């Protein structure tokens, strides 16, 4: 069975603009292309599940959602990556549909189409609905602090908690990667190292004996059992004598 990383769109992949409908306003969040490449490397599907109630509320038509999706896809292609599929709920809250997150309709639809094991899957998003949707089908939810994420986390009052709160999609992906690697004993290949970037500045990393170094941030990300721990909180300040930045 396949597994997936389900991705919220606005505030997770692209910058949040209230009810975005103009493709000109589409802007990728920093680190997103790298994250999508890593998710593919792990053999997980990259599937967008997005509430677009602007349609149901009459703010714009479904073609505007399509146009934004197309622009996002173009931008991702120009950065050498892509999504596997997108599932959209166009309904307003009062339509009481089964697909608006936190309801799991879109996840179930994707699971049926691709044969996805939802319990072994992840969802990354900036809203409670993202965490709620994946929790209701037994998967793992990761909250990002981009978009409405900081606000969401500050006001968190729901019983279920995210499995991890990440600065952004890239850091969430690193968390998934560490988890997957620990479970599968997946070695970090040279190829994989080439896609890794600093979760803080998205800059290049240099392999050192004791970890991966970001020269710009002067942070050393430790490597434990061949698995780089790419989380900002786990990084150590790098202060080797005699080395210039
Ligand atoms: Zn719906
Ligand atoms: Zn850095």
Domain positions in the chain are 4-178, 189-237
> Is 8 annotated as catalytic?
yes
Q: How far is the CA of 204 from the centre of ligand 2 (A)?
A: 7
Q: Domain spanning 4-178: which CATH class is it, in words?
A: alpha beta
| pLDDT category of residue 224 using cuts at 50, 70 and 90 | confident
> Is 117 annotated as catalytic?
no
Ligand number nearest CA of 91 is 1
| pLDDT category of residue 114 using cuts at 50, 70 and 90 | very high
Task: Pick the range with the lowest mean pLDDT from 84-98, 108-122, 126-140, 219-233.
Answer: 219-233
Q: What is the pLDDT of residue 193?
A: 80
Q: Domain spanning 189-237: which CATH class is it, in words?
A: mainly beta
Burial pattern 26-58, b for ≥16 Cβ within 10 A else e, equals bebbebbbbbbbbbbebebbbbbbbbbbbbbee
pLDDT in tens, 182-205: 887 666 677 778 889 999 999 999
**pLDDT greater at residue 242 or residue 95:** 95
Q: What is the ipTM of this complex?
A: 0.84
Q: How far is the CA of 176 from the centre of ligand 2 (A)?
A: 20
Q: Average of pLDDT values for 196-223?
A: 93
- Listed residue (121, 43, 94) closest to 106, CA to CA: 121
Q: Tell me the C-alpha to C-alpha distance, in Å, between residue 230 and each of 118, 162, 178, 192, 202.
A: 25, 19, 8, 13, 11
Structure tokens at 128: 């409670």
Q: Average of pLDDT values for 167-175?
A: 96
Q: What is the pLDDT of residue 186?
A: 62
Q: How far is the CA of 222 from the centre of ligand 2 (A)?
A: 14
Q: How far is CA 45 from the centre of its chain?
A: 12
Report whether pLDDT(58) > 80.
yes
User: What share of the chain has pLDDT > 70, as a percent?
Assistant: 96
Query: What single DSSP character describes residue 29?
Result: P
Backbone angles phi, psi at 35, to 5 degrees: -60, -45
């Amino acid at each position: 069975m396949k597994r997936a990383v389900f991705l919220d769109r606005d505030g997770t992949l692209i910058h949040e603009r209230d009810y975005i409908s103009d493709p000109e306003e589409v802007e990728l969040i920093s680190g997103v292309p790298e994250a999508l490449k890593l998710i593919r490397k792990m053999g997980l599907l990259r599937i967008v599940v997005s509430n677009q109630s602007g349609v149901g509320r009459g703010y714009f038509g479904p073609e505007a959602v399509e146009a934004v999706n197309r622009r996002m896809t173009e931008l991702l292609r120009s950065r050498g990556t892509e999504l596997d599929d997108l599932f959209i709920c166009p309904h307003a809250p009062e339509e009481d549909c089964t697909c608006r997150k936190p309801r799991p309709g879109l996840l179930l639809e994707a699971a049926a189409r691709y044969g996805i094991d939802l319990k072994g899957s992840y969802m990354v998003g900036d809203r409670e609905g993202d965490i709620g949707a994946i929790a209701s089908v037994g998967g793992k939810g990761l909250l990002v602090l981009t978009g409405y994420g900081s606000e969401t986390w500050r006001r968190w009052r729901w019983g279920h908690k995210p499995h991890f709160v990440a600065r952004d999609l890239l850091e969430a992906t690193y968390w998934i990667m560490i988890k997957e690697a620990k479970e599968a004993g997946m070695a970090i290949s040279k190829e994989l190292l080439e896609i890794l970037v600093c979760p803080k500045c998205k800059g290049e990393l240099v392999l050192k004996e004791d970890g991966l170094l970001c020269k710009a941030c002067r942070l050393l990300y430790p490597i434990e059992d061949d698995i780089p721990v790419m989380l900002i909180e786990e990084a150590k300040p790098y202060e080797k004598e005699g080395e210039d930045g």
